[in-house]
Chain A
């Protein structure tokens, strides 16, 4: 047994994330994001190359042809002044995208650096810039836009600059939040300690964190800027002579009854570009979260067929010899993949827990022991499923059972998870979380539930149960939280407690106390325990029986003393052999100075 590997609480280890190369690949492999990026690229190219690809000038007008439809040389027809719609659309791209670009640039230049500094250094700069952000956000945007127009001139560029200024707080907040979150991280401290300058730290480490949310925000705000521009044109605050999509839309609207089709082209252009921006933003976000391609769940017919087959297999299982509290036969657990076949992680496991027994399930990480426990509890993560097998909880089958039946059967189970703090709902008091199952499932009155929970908290050796009852999870310590979780597991008066690595995250002394509590529970209440762990010491201390798992299979099972002192399976033998023992490998350390003095 080597070291404690990083514990995977959600089942499957996620793939490597946040490597720039793979993000792009992930992004471009999704069809929607790819198409959006392509559309945006085309739009930007059109905007840049406008003077070269537009067949006519933007304001080249021949009034005779006004409102005429598509014809040779003018595939989109003419507008209300006899100008070529296609050319105006192309130049409109330039001005609309350019305007949005200006707004974004201003917002980024103002928002990002101030956010970085405020988030990283904090203190007075942070307070001042927060106040200023609130100021900008409480300025009435429309009034400022109109008033600036009167002062600075009625062009669309002025409007876009002012818009950028008004929107900059959103970038400021985003960057500041991300940076402040990261500032306390260990790797930043490490960088500081190793002597990197602040600027270097910000540029290298902090910016990479900030990069992704900012890019997403840029896409979203870009869409908003384009939409706002169109809206402003509509109410008559606009660009004058300069063709923009918004101006074209407004002109089309003023001539709606004479030529309704004029709405189509700028509307499409605006709509497609905005949609592409939003989809791209969503795509980037999903790619960074590395939500791989969603596996397709099988259809109802297939599911029914699979369930029928499982039922058939179960019918052939022998009835005798099944454990009184928990009995698992032939359990197979698999995970659906985005691409390719399902991956099986548990390959046919048999397990029994009798009344008043403490059974240990031991193995390395990835052996499938947690998956087995989750199957019994019914909390296999999304995309995982029980492929075949039978799980009896106090003699009731829970595989393929109706959800209400399964839930009722599983009330006999209690779950003690591994990581105490993340397993408590941060928004509710301890008391509220613990009494809820009693009142909702058990039909207890509030007073009765409160008394029961206080008793439970005392039972898990919490000194001041009333205070803990009133507290929120972030107000208690880790060790206390683990006791609370045990109390929570007990609240439904279970017959079997399933504990998943209950001591790994705790200090050594607390570990001993928790184990003591579990033992006492078995002794005083006759509660059975299935303890999942990789720690042989815990097994030796606590368990009556032990099952050894490796690569999804149980390789050995038996009484603890026998398995630990005389393991039969080679894997078990290796496990037992790697526990540090008293063999001396080197001499004890002695202070060199003292040795010198002595000699």
Chain B
């Protein structure tokens, strides 16, 4: 186990370094004349050059990268060029929003995806068809259309939930719940469909296996066999899918954030990447990469815990 973790750690560090370098180079290649963008059209060329020098943009790309790296290793990610925010603070402010969404969506998806998948996999017939259709609808409908309809119906017309904004959980638990409910529902619909499909297939497959049949003969109630034995063995593909979705959400649910006015990682990414605000983007890149590493590790550990046969030897 220890060896496994150490090897993971080493390869993860290499991964982070390469990711950082690649992204930094990719961002630096198109010289986007940051000085001019910051100072506006009225500024003199001299002032613009001075600004660019102040930001260190007149140095070779690799030198800039190593400068960033040395600072980053000490925990200093610098300041945004375009809004002067401290990068770590800025990301830290937005992270709770995205984390709330991620955790909320994953929970809802896991619970409803499993329930629907099990329902479809065991009942078959009409229920199964309904779940299939629902899955297809979940995939097929463009996400933002669904989100917009949800906002108009539940927030604007009915007024059950706020239409925009985010209340931190530290300020008010019910407030936080009310601001993330609609976004989580919007994001979960397609995700639930995917997980339900996976769970359904796995449940059908595992239900047919010999050991389930044998367990039935030992007098165990059907429900117990279903939830303890079938689900556990059917979980691996579903867990992988959940893990992938979680990672995807880390990139930020951009559209949902825009429509609900949530200050999350997604809209931050779009805005600052379009401008070429390298300090912020590199901070985001590191966050994403570290997040992916951790999540992959957790998924592998979870699968290993549930399915001993899959454990890395």
Contact = CB atoms under 8 A, between A and B. Distances in A.
Direct contact of A and B (CB under 8 A): yes
Interface of A: 9-10, 131, 134-135, 137-144, 146-148, 150-151, 223, 227, 230-231, 234-237, 249, 253, 256, 263, 267, 270-272, 274-275, 278-279, 282, 285, 294, 296-297, 377-379, 381-382, 403, 407-408, 410-411, 413-415, 417, 419, 422-428, 433, 436-437, 440-441, 472, 474, 485, 488-489, 491-492
A135 B19 contact: yes
B211 interface: yes
Nearest to A136: B19
B251 to A, nearest CB: 5
A275 B208 contact: no
A231 B146 CA distance: 12
A377 B288 CA distance: 54
20 contacts: A138-B289, A146-B273, A147-B23, A147-B26, A235-B258, A253-B148, A275-B140, A282-B197, A381-B208, A382-B208, A407-B219, A415-B218, A419-B210, A423-B214, A427-B229, A427-B308, A440-B220, A440-B224, A474-B308, A492-B219
Interface stretch (B78-86, B131-139, B177-185): B131-139
Contacts of B125: 294, 296-297
Interface stretch (B27-35, B90-98, B158-166): B27-35
B102 to A, nearest CB: 14
Interface string B184-227: 00000000000001000100000011111111111111101000
B139 A275 contact: yes
A274 B139 contact: yes
Interface residues of B, number: 71
B71 interface: no
A415 B217 contact: yes
A249 B142 contact: yes
Contacts of B139: 223, 227, 274-275, 278
A413 B214 CA distance: 12
A249 B148 CA distance: 13
A275 B136 contact: yes
A403 B219 CA distance: 11
Most buried by B among A134, A472, A474: A134
Most buried by A among B144, B213, B276, B289: B213
Given A230-B142, A423-B214, A440 B270 contact: no
Contact of A143 (B214, B247, B269): B269
Contact of A234 (B144, B222, B233, B308): B144
A231 B144 contact: yes
A475 to B, nearest CB: 9
Contacts of A235: 254-255, 258, 270
B141 interface: yes
B153 interface: no
Most buried by A among B30, B218, B252: B218
B37 interface: no
Nearest to B137: A275
B258 A294 contact: no
B306 interface: yes
B278 to A, nearest CB: 10
B44 interface: no
B167 to A, nearest CB: 25
A582 to B, nearest CB: 38
B214 A485 contact: yes
Contacts of B309: 426-427, 472, 474
Nearest to B269: A142
B71 to A, nearest CB: 20
A10 B208 contact: yes
Given A417-B210, A422-B211, A488-B214, A143 B23 contact: yes
B232 interface: yes
A91 B36 CA distance: 39
A590 B135 CA distance: 71
B11 interface: yes
Contacts of B144: 231, 234, 253
B142 A227 contact: yes
Contacts of B135: 278
B72 interface: no
B285 interface: yes
Contacts of B168: none
B247 A148 contact: no
Contacts of A377: 217
Contact of A274 (B140, B221, B254): B140
